[in-house]
Amino acid sequence: SIPAIPPPKPDPWQLLQSGLQPAGCDQPEVVRWRQRYLGRPERFSGRLTEFAPLLHFVSREVAERQLPQAFSLIPMVESSFYGFPGRGDGPAGMWQLMPATARAWGLSVGGGKDDRLDHVRATHAALNYLQALWALFERDPGLTVAAYNAGDGRVNRAIRKAGHRDSRRLPLPRITQEYLIKLDALACLFKAPEAYGFELPPLPPASQLEVVILPFPADASLLAGALRLPEDAFRRHNGAARGPIARTAGHAWLVPASRIPVIATLDPPTVAPAPGSLRQSAPNSGTHVVQRGDTLWDLSRRYGVRLEDLLRWNSLNSRSTLRIGQRLRLAP
């Protein structure tokens, strides 16, 4: 499950920019938010440098699903790509998913476990949700984003009341209208940064994040040290800006491509968590029981197996529909 060094990828900013189609860059409210983002250019550039690897990870996931690249910017509007813990029944993680939404799309929330803080799982769940909304609203990006923020029921009621489907003119809560404007402003900035006087930070292939599923448990602090990575950045990329983070065997870590060869040389006991510090993280037990929101593509990524193998082991094809409670084999 430890991958080989991945092949070179296209320029990450080109991947994002080629898929952005911002509208209304000269609209007064979009200009206002664009100016707010660039009000302190050095601060904006610093934050962008921090979260660029995560943005690129999300951008690749969005591209693989053939969704609009504007969806890659949602975590910036939601949380600036920080994995904030939730409070009570509030949202959490860089996608700021509510507990009920997270559970509906296959994440565990509660009992000392919150998958919303796991950037890989949360991204897969959020994109599953966005993919469903994208289909529900007939591939309209504005309506899809509005529904992600306000709920599909509220957006459908607004459409019926207004008699049209223009997301910018629907009678939606002000917070949702602002949400759409912020996303437009960011899309304008990232599409043509030179037009607004700032530069996108370099993100060489060696710094780009790859999903690595470790076959042994690990503590984030010890793993960062073993990989010779700054602990704060490694923890931020793996969903724990504060507090302990220990994961069981089978957990998907985000690791810079340049450090992947080091993983094969690790001695598992040197990164092992302290006794009692582990939280469950979907170890590969040989089978998986299908939950709501699961897709074959998502499961192949989660367990580090090829999609074609997963299909063959379970006598399925790419058009097969999963049933909740169905048991899938994860090995021959």
Q: Which residues are identified as catalytic?
A: 78
Number of Cβ within a 10 Å radius of residue 58: 27
- Which tokens in the block code for residue 16? 């994002």
Cα gap 55→135, rounded to integer Å: 24
138 residue type, one letter: E
Structure letter (DSSP) for residue 114: E
Closest by Cα among 176, 271, 278, 150 to 214: 271
- At 16, is the secondary structure helix, strand, or coil? helix
**Contact by Cβ (8 Å): 272, 218:** yes
- Which tokens in the block code for residue 170? 């629907």
Cα gap 269→30, rounded to integer Å: 52
328 residue type, one letter: L
**Contact by Cβ (8 Å): 19, 69:** yes
**Contact by Cβ (8 Å): 293, 106:** yes
Tell me the torsion sign for CA atoms 69, 72, 76, 79. positive
Closest by Cα among 5, 72, 1, 13 to 199: 13
